[in-house]
Amino acid sequence: MAAKTKFRGSFTALVTPFKNGSLDEAAFRSLVNWQISEGTNGLVPVGTTGESPTLSHDEHKKVVEWCIAEAKGRVPVVAGAGSNSTKEAIELAQHAEKAGADAVLVVTPYYNKPTQEGMYQHFKAINDAIGIPIIIYNIPPRSVIDMSVDTMTRLWELKNIAGVKDATASMVRVSQQRAAMGEDFNQLSGEDATILGYMAHGGHGCISVTSNVAPRLCSEFQAAWAKGDAKAALAIHDKLMPLHNNLFIESNPAPIKYAMSLLGKLDETLRLPMVPVSEPTRVAVRSAMVHAGLIN
């Protein structure tokens, strides 16, 4: 078990800015610097929030390279490298390693619905092809399949499997995974709304959508929790909870891109089949941002 991680705190699942149909490199680099200056503990480019399904492989690789170059080692970069094709996932993971990523985030294969053994073999093949840590991304609502604790435990025996981004929203799972694999298995929540409970059950942090627009508050929540100040953490959580909810009224990342456009961080541009959010969602997102003190 050579390549393990001790990622802690607030990691931002970065959006990918577009302009005139192309990647907006300047906006993306500016976003990386803003995130770090606001206290974000790590960056996760080209996941679902980064619209990876509609990026070409060349675009995907560029975003990873820009993120690593702009971060300059100030915070860890966990590059999205998932695919429902094992061959493609290996190619993206190898590129991320070569580019200098600290780890890769690999989603359970979506659409083709592999069995538990298929998932094991998928992750084992990626493990065998690279030399940096792998964070398993378990997100049943999007991938349909759910990696079992038993399968995760088998994978944990491999040299590069380091932890999980857990988007099951199950508090029970955190405890089950810790019981099976121990404290060194790096558990990061993938569900902003459940983060308080996730941390209470023994989680180590969050790969967050909300932290795109509220990086300082998300990092302050994690800092308060790390200090054992549950009262302060709860107060910040209450401040953020409307955002945690309202950023998912419509499919991510449409609401978060609207929220960030209100801060002037990027154009509210998405790639089909994603479309801008409806007026009721705009009202709800704006209201949540006011509640969090992000806008007046």
β partners of residue 85: none
Of 120, 137, 198, 258, the catalytic one is: 137
Q: How far apart are CA 66 and CA 59, in angstroms?
A: 10
Q: What are phi and psi of 290, to 5 degrees?
A: -65, -45
β partners of residue 134: 104, 161
Which residue in 271, 273, 275 sits closest to 60, CA to CA? 271
31 with 264: CB under 8 angstroms?
A: no
Angle between helices 279-291 and 230-246 (to 10 degrees): 170
- Pairing mode of beta strands 9-13, 42-44: parallel
131 with 93: CB under 8 angstroms?
A: no
Determine if residue 49 is labeled as part of a ligand binding site: yes
Determine if residue 207 is labeled as part of a ligand binding site: yes
The question of whether 165 is a catalytic residue gets the answer yes
Of 61, 62, 165, 239, the catalytic one is: 165
The question of whether 137 is a catalytic residue gets the answer yes
Q: What are phi and psi of 252, to 5 degrees?
A: -65, 135
Contacts 24+ apart (CB under 8 A), 86-95: 86/121, 86/122, 86/125, 86/126, 88/57, 89/122, 89/126, 90/125, 90/126, 90/129, 90/130, 91/57, 92/57, 92/60, 92/61, 93/126, 93/129, 93/130, 93/134, 94/129, 94/130, 95/61, 95/64
- Tell me: cis bond preceding 133? Omega within 30 of 0 counts: no
Residues with catalytic function: 137, 165
Cite the annotated binding site by residue number.
49, 207
Cite the annotated binding site for pyruvate by residue number.
49, 207
